[in-house]
Amino acid sequence: MDYHLKIKQEFFFEVTLPGSKSITNRALLLASLSTDNTLLQNFLLSDDTEHMIDGLQKLGTSINISKDKKNILVIANQKRTFNKVSLYTGNAGTMLRFLSTYIGIGNGEVTLFGDKRMNERPIYPLVQSLQTLGCKIEYLDKEGFPPIKIFSDNLYREAFFSTMTSPNEIIVDSSISSQYLTSLLLTIPILKIPFKIRNSNRIVSRPYIDMSLAMIKQFGGKITENIHDNSFSIFPSTYSLKKYIIEGDMSSASYFLAMALISNSTIKINNFFKTSLQGDKKFLDIFLKLGGKILSQEQYSITVQGCSQYPGINIDLNEAPDIAQTLAVVALFATSPTTIKNVSNMRIKETDRILALKNEINKLGGTLIEEFDNDGNEGFTIIPLHQKNYKSATIETYNDHRMAMSFSLVGLRIPNIIIKDSQCVNKTFPNYFDIFEKIYR
């Protein structure tokens, strides 16, 4: 379904953010690993989380969703006996990667496969780490990529543990995705022996690791970090938490902060956690640097005001690459160029996001220049035009929810913008365009 946008400036708008997808899928896994049943409040029901729920259910976890779809009760799954099952992940990277370790410590033969794009996203760094943990994993198509089949067996794994050197060390390369490390951190604490996880390379999207560590601690896990050798010590733990409140999604918040800037509007954002665990809260700092203002802020809401014009910015977004597309669209209307650095892993997201941005900005008449730093890390610079020099266009979304939501903002300033296949926002924000429609009322 295509969505047709209309120019709109200087308005007041109030929005309530959906729950965070990243936190929802982590909480679902932690709750399934717990010894007690866990009530998850303010959870997100979207394509990605529905895939995760379906996967956990097929792996034996009972999950009950309330009638109003605001709460979810996860019945702890202590047996983790999976038998033979195939799980479809769609393009949900968190599901495929998080469940790989979860399956690896159980009993069964489980195949994980995704859609075309998911099967193009690398899994080999995590597979290599799981193999050192005693997991038997088979690639079913292309080496290093899904689909994969995991053969898990408690007796074999315990015998394998007895052969490991002390300390029991797992090495992981987190330079492509932090989700490989997160997958190990979430599940390994429930094993009966201590482990050390050492990163062989730099960690991208570091705030997602910090988020995971904070949640693991809230559920009762024990992990310490040694910054000197880039490692984490994991101690045998028991997860138990009867209730967990899921934060509003900070990636989604970025679109409304950007909306305030682009349209010089006042927007109240509810379910905006002042002490958020999420790295994408960084967009608020960017908003303020560009000239936006906070009119008021409470524990779970914020009211902001944009400005009539703002400069470009030079920024490293390695720790928060999911807000790069939002900032790229903001950059189109700045008074000077914007350079976004160190975001190579945008290439392996739901689409090649750097290429997708370049294609669609070119349609508008704008310019995106791809760049490399001295270490080979990718980034790009956007050269803004005067608003009158931009062209109307139909925007391809590449089945990427963030392309759809970020480019929706273009239509507030440029006439006759159409977002193709707008339903792709179902991945993380199913009612985004329903909410967006309220702007025009």
Which single residue is written with the structure tokens 């024990």? 222
Residue appearing with tokens 């050390």 = 196
Please provide residue 95's backbone torsions phi and psi, each rounded to the nearest 5 degrees: -65, -55
Q: What distance separates the 2 farthest-apart alpha carbons in the chain?
A: 69
Q: Are strands 107-113 and 81-88 parallel, antiparallel or unpaired?
A: parallel
In whole angstroms, give the CA distance from residue 10 to residue 261: 10
Residues 6+ apart with CB under 8 A from 414: 7, 364, 387, 390, 391, 392, 393
Q: Is 387 exposed, middle or buried (0-12, 13-18, 19+ CB in 10 A)?
A: exposed
Tokens at 103, concatenated: 């399956």
Q: Where are the alpha helices (DSSP H) in 105-148?
A: 124-132
Catalytic residue list contains 322: yes
Distance, first Cα to last Cα, the chain: 21
Catalytic residue among 322, 375, 400, 434: 322
DSSP characters for 386-416? -GGG---EEEP-TT-HHHHHHHHGGGGTSSS
| β-pairing verdict for 367-372 and 378-383 | antiparallel
| Residues involved in catalysis | 322
